[in-house]
A and B are shown apart, each in its own frame.
Chain A
Amino acid sequence: MIGRKIALWTLPLAAGLAIAPPAIAKPLGDTDTSIKIAINEWTGQNLSAHIAGKLLEKLGYKVEYITAGTLPQFTGIASGSLSVSPEVWPSNLGDVYPKAKAEGKLEEIGELGLDTKDGWLYTADTKTVCPQLPDWTALKDPACVQALATPETFPNGRLLDYPADWGSASGPELKNAEIPFTPVPAGSEGALVAELQAAVAAHKPLLMRFWAPHWVLAEVPVEWLKMPPCDEKNLAECIVAPPVIKVVWAGFHEKWPAGYELMKSLQIHADDQQKMIYAVDKQGKNLDQAVDGWIEEHQSDWQAWVKAAQN
């Protein structure tokens, strides 16, 4: 422990001697209390969380991974019982997040750099019944609507939507674009995945809302719809691929200054993440192995972040 501390002290010293910038060394802060990283329900987030954790450990912090639901986690971050959530998708945040943010109890620290997709996708067999796809106007074709209609949505077509508790802008967007489809909330991620797999297996048409990166997209062929135009500022009525952000507890900066800088510079690319997700979920690789692989591959990136955090 002492050895590491000295080593970490000498690093900025050496850097200072070499380039001599007028920077003040960022203290590590409280290295005895562990930084609590939120673990959510999907593998991509788990990977981001563990990458963040490993890098924080390299700086000299203790970390702890705490499983917390996507939405309840903000209550934890606001109260400080969770310190950081490294991958937050602002498309479905519910009501807690904006409330806590307005009260200044948590802090957004920039984007994670994940290139994401969020929108409506369809299976290959949908194209035979709605030939004008991928353009959204194809959904106004009565033959297409009829083919996608179900007893529950008749006479409208059926759009499988995000679960009701995630919140979704599909409904307003369908209404604004005057598309005769009814959104049917799925209930859970498993329900979305199961329907997609079943539709592909049974060669049935299906239109659903989904997101990328996701492991199932590496398994089943899908295409993304060109979304109808909408006001991108109004997130309640317009689906836009969200910039994935990093969120920390408001006291993070004060307590772990160097860690704060590191979290700010953390970037993960979608391609890398999708590869890791596939390795973990489908090839049965250990999460740690996948994360170690990333650390190995991106030596220069994270070493630069660590250095920047210490200066």
Chain B
Amino acid sequence: MWLVVLAFIAICIAMRPALPWLVTYPSSWLLPVPSIINSVFGFLIPLLKPICAVLAIILRAALDACSAALQWMPWPAMILFFAILGWLARGWQLALFTAVGLGYVVMAGYWEQGMNTLSLVTLAVPLAVGFGFLLGVAAHSSRYVRGITMVVLDLLQTVPAFAFLIPLLLLFGFGPIVGLIACLVYAVAPMVHCTMLGLERVPPSLLEAASMAGCTRRQRFWHVILPTAKREILTGINQTTMAAFSMVIMAAIIGGFNDVGWEVLNSMRKAEFGQSLLSGLVIAVLAMVVDRITFGMAQPARDRTQTTLRNGLRMAVILGLPLFVAFLLNASPSTMAWADKAQGVIDPSGLNRVVIRFVQDFSAPLDAFKVFVLYHFMLPLRIGLVGAVTPFTWGFAWTFQVSTIYCGLSLSLAVWLWFRGQWQGGAGVLIGSTLLLLGFNGFPWPAFVIVVTALAWSVSGARLASLAGLGTCFIVGAGLYGPLGQSLYLCLLAVLICMFVGGLLGVAAAKSDRFSAVLKPVCDALQTMPQFIFLIPALMFFQVGELTGLIAIALYAIVPPIRYVEYGIRSVPADLVETSRQIGCTAWQRLIHVELPVAKPVVVLGANQTIMAALSMLPVAALVGTKDLGQQVYIALSKADAGLGLVAGLSVALVAMISDRIMRATVSNTGGALD
């Protein structure tokens, strides 16, 4: 089959000069998808608007009440309250961590905004948990519901939030409610997944026993299934909270509310690195505090005694104490004013000066690095070797002879691989070298569709192939082949860099406990802090352009390979390691011949997560001027064209889903199982 594919590609390339539509999709063939979506919205929105308006009013009132309550508590009382919660959940270490973390929020001067963020999350999480739980139960009990739910969840997690912003704005009007709903929609998914997992893991024997004991359906659900699945459900609540925190910044872009997300955006707008780092850390700190507390509560209680009246009383006193302190502080404004002096004592502008000084001193080497990467890695992938190799960049021109030598080399490599029995490798070399020759911008789209479909077919079969074929046709048909090429080339480079660097870091972390301990908080911070923050120094060092976008994507997407490679190598069975040592392997031989092959399924899963992370960064990279699918979402936003925005968002989701399915199928072919 691959022979046919190769022949097709060859024909496409040969016909390129004669038929220019092979490279640039003709605008007269565009599918009218955006206008169809728009007319559907035009019909739906007037119907849904009254319901949504009522919902918005209720949510708004709840949000106002929530933030008023949090604002009423003076910050010392609030810190006391959280510290006590931490103490109840995990002991004094967590109490100390909580107090220090929240103390930082005060000293950074973002207490008020922090509490608004917290109220947004406090409101979003119970709703998301409620919906998620119900959906999870429904999906568990019916195959039909399950199928639909899984597709919807995939879409919710991969379509960039900006894409469904316009319909949300039309339905709910302006204000924090739109942001709240975006948070909620995004945070539902982990809850559903965890609920389903928990319900599936209930052992059948237990259900049997319950039926024999004469339970009714309802009794069985409440007294047998739920307590057994409790652990997963609690993990789900924890994950939902984290997801809600990670959406706070998007909520700020959408809704706008006096919260930390808005502060991060403002400092991003002013290109103030210090302030943005400071406010970004506030989100990370809040997320970590809530994460540790909810995680602590989700752990099975070690020595929790029965809740007797006396225990309840003690609890009431402990939780009542902060309230009492709050009353005292509110009654005496002078004490509060004295305490308020601690607010905003950290001044981050020094950091801004450091960045500027760095640019001043190192602009020449930074420029040299940028030019080197652009000429040798980015341009060849984008416009192909044909366009990128000029005397100005590489020192020689891309003449006919060079072209012949290049083609001859790749052909002979492919033939050699073929004779060694690795025909997949041979086909891969041919397609890869063609891509490199022409670049993503010059690769004919029919060839692209065929390659993706054939790949899906060969790893999994007709079902995946039809998804891949239809999906790519949809993207091309919507006229997004150009931005798609841009996105793919940025993501591909980012993923390669991340897998290489992150893989090395992961191996190092697996070999050294100390290095692992240093790396962990760095990874945590890279993932919980709003990604916007890294854009500012990257911009100052490398200017607006694709290299800056690439760096931003790579910084975020480097975390999964580190984590998965470390985990994979660490979980290689000890007896295997011991055997290899006994037969006299050196450390490198052991790594290459024993540990990496055994860890392969986990590493591939890590690669999959890296691709997802890179794709999710596309809208962020668009803020530094890339021309990818993320930029299309913004352009649609500026035109308030709901259809166009959704189509661009769906395209990102389709790329994510197709690559995810192909990766999963590859792993299950090689015998591993993905979870």
- Chain B residue at smallest Cβ distance from A153: B545
Q: Is the CB of A187 within 8 A of B269?
A: no
Indicate which residue in B256, B363, B541, B627 contacts A39 across the interface (CB closer than 8 Å).
B256
Q: Is the CB of B625 within 8 A of A191?
A: yes
Asked if A63 is at the interface of the complex by the 8 Å CB criterion, the answer is no
Bitwise, B616-637 to A at CB < 8 A (1) or not (0) is: 0000001111110001001101
Bitwise, A132-172 to B at CB < 8 A (1) or not (0) is: 00000000000000000011101000001001111100000
B203 → A minimal CB distance (Å): 51
Given A81-B174, A152-B545, A198-B359, decide whether A95 and B639 contact each other with a Cβ distance below 8 A.
yes
Q: Is the CB of A190 within 8 A of B640?
A: no
Indicate which residue in A154, A187, A203 contacts B626 across the interface (CB closer than 8 Å).
A187
Q: How far is the CA of A294 from the CA of B363 in the complex (A)?
A: 42
Q: Report B-chain residues with C-beta under 8 Å of the C-beta of A203.
A: 363
Given A152-B545, A165-B635, decide whether A66 and B640 contact each other with a Cβ distance below 8 A.
no
Asked if B398 is at the interface of the complex by the 8 Å CB criterion, the answer is no
Which of A42, A190, A194 has most B Cβ within 10 Å? A194
Asked if B448 is at the interface of the complex by the 8 Å CB criterion, the answer is no
Q: Is the CB of A164 within 8 A of B634?
A: yes
Indicate which residue in B268, B543, B639 contacts A96 across the interface (CB closer than 8 Å).
B639
- Chain B residue at smallest Cβ distance from A94: B638
Q: Is the CB of A194 within 8 A of B257?
A: no
Q: Is the CB of A187 within 8 A of B270?
A: no
Q: Is the CB of B269 within 8 A of A68?
A: no
Asked if B536 is at the interface of the complex by the 8 Å CB criterion, the answer is yes
- Chain B residue at smallest Cβ distance from A161: B625
Q: Is the CB of A68 within 8 A of B256?
A: yes
B429 → A minimal CB distance (Å): 28
Asked if B356 is at the interface of the complex by the 8 Å CB criterion, the answer is yes
Q: Report B-chain residues with C-beta under 8 Å of the C-beta of A270.
A: none
Bitwise, B138-174 to A at CB < 8 A (1) or not (0) is: 0000000000000000000000000001100110011
Q: How far is the CA of A39 from the CA of B546 in the complex (A)?
A: 31
Q: Report A-chain residues with C-beta under 8 Å of the C-beta of B393.
A: 151
Q: Report A-chain residues with C-beta under 8 Å of the C-beta of B627.
A: 164, 185
Indicate which residue in B165, B175, B541, B637 contacts A66 across the interface (CB closer than 8 Å).
B175
A-binding segment of B90-98, B371-379, B412-420: B371-379
- Chain A residue at smallest Cβ distance from B388: A151
Indicate which residue in B173, B257, B270, B379 contacts A193 across the interface (CB closer than 8 Å).
B270
Asked if A274 is at the interface of the complex by the 8 Å CB criterion, the answer is no
Asked if A188 is at the interface of the complex by the 8 Å CB criterion, the answer is yes
Which of B170, B371, B374, B543 has most A Cβ within 10 Å? B543
- Chain A residue at smallest Cβ distance from B262: A67
Given A72-B169, A195-B544, decide whether A94 and B356 contact each other with a Cβ distance below 8 A.
no
Q: Is the CB of B256 within 8 A of A167?
A: no
Q: Report B-chain residues with C-beta under 8 Å of the C-beta of A160.
A: 544
**Which residues of A273-288 have CB atoms within 8 Å of chain B's CB atoms?**
281
Asked if B540 is at the interface of the complex by the 8 Å CB criterion, the answer is yes
Asked if B308 is at the interface of the complex by the 8 Å CB criterion, the answer is no
Given A67-B262, A151-B374, decide whether A195 and B539 contact each other with a Cβ distance below 8 A.
yes
Given A42-B269, A72-B169, A151-B379, decide whether A191 and B640 contact each other with a Cβ distance below 8 A.
no
Given A79-B173, A184-B545, decide whether A94 and B640 contact each other with a Cβ distance below 8 A.
yes
Bitwise, A82-100 to B at CB < 8 A (1) or not (0) is: 1000000000001110000
Q: How far is the CA of A41 from the CA of B253 in the complex (A)?
A: 10
B163 → A minimal CB distance (Å): 13
Indicate which residue in A41, A67, A79, A191 contacts B539 across the interface (CB closer than 8 Å).
A191
Q: Is the CB of B269 within 8 A of A74?
A: no
Q: Is the CB of A76 within 8 A of B269?
A: no
Q: Report A-chain residues with C-beta under 8 Å of the C-beta of B635.
A: 164-165
Q: Report A-chain residues with C-beta under 8 Å of the C-beta of B540.
A: 194-195, 197-198, 201
Asked if A204 is at the interface of the complex by the 8 Å CB criterion, the answer is yes
Q: Is the CB of A67 within 8 A of B544?
A: no
Q: How far is the CA of A203 from the CA of B392 in the complex (A)?
A: 24
Given A66-B174, A76-B174, decide whether A190 and B270 contact each other with a Cβ distance below 8 A.
yes
Q: Is the CB of A184 within 8 A of B625?
A: yes
Q: Is the CB of B637 within 8 A of A165?
A: yes
Given A67-B255, A76-B174, decide whether A154 and B637 contact each other with a Cβ distance below 8 A.
no
Indicate which residue in A73, A167, A191 contacts B624 across the interface (CB closer than 8 Å).
A191
Total count of chain A residues near the partner, CB < 8 A: 48
- Chain B residue at smallest Cβ distance from A154: B392
Q: Report A-chain residues with C-beta under 8 Å of the C-beta of B546.
A: 152
Q: Is the CB of A82 within 8 A of B374?
A: no
Q: How far is the CA of A196 from the CA of B104 in the complex (A)?
A: 32
Indicate which residue in B174, B544, B640 contacts A186 across the interface (CB closer than 8 Å).
B544
Q: Is the CB of A76 within 8 A of B638?
A: no
**Which residues of B336-381 have CB atoms within 8 Å of chain A's CB atoms?**
356-357, 359-360, 363, 370-371, 374-375, 379
Asked if A189 is at the interface of the complex by the 8 Å CB criterion, the answer is yes
**Which residues of B522-566 have CB atoms within 8 Å of chain A's CB atoms?**
535-536, 539-541, 543-546
B377 → A minimal CB distance (Å): 12
- Chain B residue at smallest Cβ distance from A206: B543
Indicate which residue in B255, B535, B544, B634 contacts A184 across the interface (CB closer than 8 Å).
B544
Given A151-B371, A154-B392, A164-B631, decide whether A75 and B640 contact each other with a Cβ distance below 8 A.
yes
Q: How far is the CA of A52 from the CA of B359 in the complex (A)?
A: 41
Which of A81, A186, A202 has most B Cβ within 10 Å? A202
**Which residues of B166-207 have CB atoms within 8 Å of chain A's CB atoms?**
166, 169-170, 173-175
A146 → B minimal CB distance (Å): 11
Asked if B271 is at the interface of the complex by the 8 Å CB criterion, the answer is yes
A125 → B minimal CB distance (Å): 11
Q: Is the CB of A167 within 8 A of B539?
A: no
Q: Report B-chain residues with C-beta under 8 Å of the C-beta of A109.
A: none
Asked if A71 is at the interface of the complex by the 8 Å CB criterion, the answer is yes
Indicate which residue in A81, A154, A198, A215 contacts B543 across the interface (CB closer than 8 Å).
A198
Q: Report A-chain residues with C-beta under 8 Å of the C-beta of B544.
A: 160, 184-187, 191, 195
- Chain A residue at smallest Cβ distance from B265: A41
B440 → A minimal CB distance (Å): 15
Q: Is the CB of A191 within 8 A of B360?
A: no
Q: Is the CB of B262 within 8 A of A194?
A: no
Q: Report A-chain residues with C-beta under 8 Å of the C-beta of B175.
A: 66-67
A135 → B minimal CB distance (Å): 26
Q: Report B-chain residues with C-beta under 8 Å of the C-beta of A150.
A: 543, 545
Which of A42, A75, A154 has most B Cβ within 10 Å? A75
Q: Report A-chain residues with C-beta under 8 Å of the C-beta of B539.
A: 190-191, 194-195, 198
- Chain A residue at smallest Cβ distance from B633: A165
A201 → B minimal CB distance (Å): 5
Given A188-B268, A191-B539, A198-B540, decide whether A71 and B392 contact each other with a Cβ distance below 8 A.
no
- Chain B residue at smallest Cβ distance from A188: B623
B107 → A minimal CB distance (Å): 16
- Chain A residue at smallest Cβ distance from B393: A151
Q: Report B-chain residues with C-beta under 8 Å of the C-beta of A198.
A: 356, 359, 363, 539-541, 543
Q: Report A-chain residues with C-beta under 8 Å of the C-beta of B379.
A: 151
Q: Is the CB of B625 within 8 A of A185?
A: yes
Given A42-B269, A152-B374, decide whether A201 and B543 contact each other with a Cβ distance below 8 A.
no
Q: Report A-chain residues with C-beta under 8 Å of the C-beta of B631.
A: 164-165, 187
Q: Report B-chain residues with C-beta under 8 Å of the C-beta of A67.
A: 174-175, 255-257, 262
Question: 8 A-B pairs, CB-CB below 8 angstroms?
Answer: A41-B269, A67-B255, A72-B169, A74-B640, A76-B173, A76-B174, A81-B173, A190-B268
4 nearest A-B residue pairs (beta carbon): A67-B256, A202-B363, A187-B625, A194-B271
Given contacts A69-B253, A151-B393, A190-B535, list 4 more A-B pairs with CB under 8 A: A67-B256, A81-B174, A164-B627, A191-B544
A-binding residues in B (CB < 8 A): 165-166, 169-170, 173-175, 253, 255-257, 262, 265, 268-271, 356-357, 359-360, 363, 370-371, 374-375, 379, 392-393, 535-536, 539-541, 543-546, 622-627, 631, 634-635, 637-641
B-binding residues in A (CB < 8 A): 39, 41-42, 66-69, 71-76, 79, 81-82, 94-96, 150-152, 154, 160, 163-167, 184-191, 193-195, 197-198, 201-204, 215, 281
